[in-house]
Structure 1
Amino acid sequence: MHPFAIDSLGYLAQLLFSARFFVQWILSERARRVLSPTIFWQISLVAACIFCLYGWLRNDFSIILGQFVTYYIYIWNLNARRAWKTLWPPIRWIIFALPLAGILWIVLNWSDFLAHLFIESDLPGWLIALGTGGQIIFTLRFVYQWWYSRQRGESILPLGFWLISLTGSTIIIAYALIRGDMYPLILGHLTGAFVYTRNIIIFNKQRTAQATASDSNDRPCENTSTR
C-alpha cells in the first residue's frame, strides 16, 4: 500500500478519536448532564479498528499494544448498552479477533518488536519518562471507566474519567511543548483538554443542582395554619 494511503488511515483514526468526544460533549451540553452515548463507543471501536490496521501496515507494534488495552473496553461498553449483539455475528468475530491477530504477529516477530521499542533516541531519559507516563495515565482512564461501570452494572463516563483524561493530556502537552517539534500532538490534546474541562464543569453543575434539589426536599414545610 502507498505510504500516503497508510498515513491517511492514521489521520482518519485520530480524527474519529477526536470526533467521538465532540459528539459526547454536544449531547451532554444539550442534556445538561454527562452522558455515555452509544455512538461514542461505536466511533471509538471503528477508530480503534482503523488504528490497529494502521499500526499493522506501519509495522508499529506499540500502536497495536496500546489499542489492545482499550479495544475490548469499547466492546464491553457497547455490550453494556446492548448495542454489541446487534452487529452481524461475522463482523463481531472479525472485530474481536483483530487485536489478537496483532498480538500473535508481535509474538512471531518478537526480535523486531524489541528493536522498535528500544530504538536509540537523542531525547533525555527524564523527557522520555514524562511522555511515557502521560501516555500511561491517558490510557488508564478507560481502565478506570471500565472498572467504575462494572461496579454499577452500566456504561458510565464518571467524573474520574475526565479528571484522569485532563491530567494525562496536560502531561502530554508539557512533553510536546518541551520537545518543540510535535505541534499536531499539542493541538490535538489542547482540543481534547477543552472537552474534558467542559465535562468536569457539567458534572459540578449537575451535582450542585442535585444538592439544591435534595435540600429543598429535606426542608420541613412551615406550619401556616392559624388557630
Structure 2
Amino acid sequence: MTIVYIIGFLAQIFFSARILVQWILSEKAKEIVSPSIFWVLSIAGSYLLFIYGWCRDDFSIILGQIISYYIYIWNLNAKGIWKNINVLLRIILFMTPVAACAFLLESPEQFINQFFKNEDIPIWLLVFGSAGQVIFTLRFIYQLIYSYHKHESKLPIGFWIISLIGSSIIVSYGIFRLDPVLILGQSVGFIAYIRNIILGVRKNKSANLEHK
C-alpha cells in the first residue's frame, strides 16, 4: 500500500505543480494563461493517478482520469508539443487507458465485483465520488470546446469555477474515504482556482471598459 500511496502523491505533485506554475505565470501576465507546461504536467499526473485509482479499486478516480486524459493530449497537440514526443512514448501514453478499458471489459463480472462491490466504498459513496469526478472533469470538456472555438488552448473563467465546485466534492469524498492523496491533492488548488477567477473577472471588466 505504501507504493500505491507514493504513486498517488507523485501524481498529485504533478497536478499541484501545474496549478502553481500556471498561477505564477498568470499573476505575471495579469490574466489567465494556458502554458504548455500545464498540459505536460497534466498528462504525467493523470497517468499516475489512473494507476493509483486502479490499485485502490476506485472507479471514481479512474472515471475522472479517462475523461480528461485525451483532452490533455488534444491540448498538447494544440500547443505543438505532442508531435515532438518520442513516438514510442506517444503510443504508450495513448494506448494505456484503451488497453486498461479493454482488459476490464473482457470480464464484465470481474469489473463489477472489483469496482462496484467494493466493501470499502459503499455504492452511495461511489456515486457521490463519481459525480465529483465528472463535474471536475467537465471543466476540461468545457475548456476543449472553448479552446476549439478560439482556435488555441485557453483556460477560461468557467474552467476555474467548475474546478472549484468539483474539487470541493472530491475533497469531501476523500474525507469519507480517508484518502490523504485526494484530500491534500485537491485542497492545494483552492486558492489558485479562486485567484484565477478573480484575474479572469478583472480582465473581462477591463476589456468591457475598453470597448466602451
Do these two structures clear the TM 0.5 threshold for a shared fold by scoring above it?
Answer: yes
Show the 5 A alignment for 1:38-117.
Answer: 38-56=36-54, 58=55, 60=57, 62=59, 63-117=61-115
State how far apart, in whole Å, the 2-side matches of 1:120 and 1:187 are: 23
Query: CA 1:85/1:28 → structure 2, altered by over 3 Å: closer, same or farther?
Result: same
- Which amino acid in structure 2 is aligned with residue 97 of structure 1? M
State how far apart, in whole Å, the 1-side matches of 2:46 and 2:165 are: 22
C-alpha displacement of 1:180: 8.6
C-alpha displacement of 1:41: 0.2
State how far apart, in whole Å, the 1-side matches of 2:125 and 2:106 are: 31
Show the 5 A alignment for 1:131-146.
Answer: 131-146=129-144
Contact map agreement 2:15 2:45 (CA 8 A) in 1: yes
Q: Equivalent residue of 2:72, what SS?
A: helix
Instruction: Give the equivalent residue in structure 2 for 1:29.
Output: 27
Q: Equivalent residue of 2:5, what SS?
A: helix
Instruction: Indicate the percent of aligned positions where both proteins have the same amino acid.
Output: 44
Q: Which runs of 5+ in 1 are unaligned?
A: 216-227
- Which amino acid in structure 1 is aligned with residue 169 of structure 2? I
Larger radius of gyration: 1
Query: CA 1:143/1:16 → structure 2, altered by over 3 Å: closer, same or farther?
Result: same
Contact map agreement 1:64 1:102 (CA 8 A) in 2: no
TM-score, normalised relative to structure 1? 0.81
C-alpha displacement of 1:52: 3.1
Segments of 4+ in structure 1 off by > 4 A? 120-129, 174-177, 180-184
Query: CA 1:77/1:123 → structure 2, altered by over 3 Å: closer, same or farther?
Result: closer
Contact map agreement 2:13 2:185 (CA 8 A) in 1: no
Q: Which runs of 5+ in 2 are unaligned?
A: none
1:204 aligned onto 2:201: yes
Query: CA 1:121/1:142 → structure 2, altered by over 3 Å: closer, same or farther?
Result: same
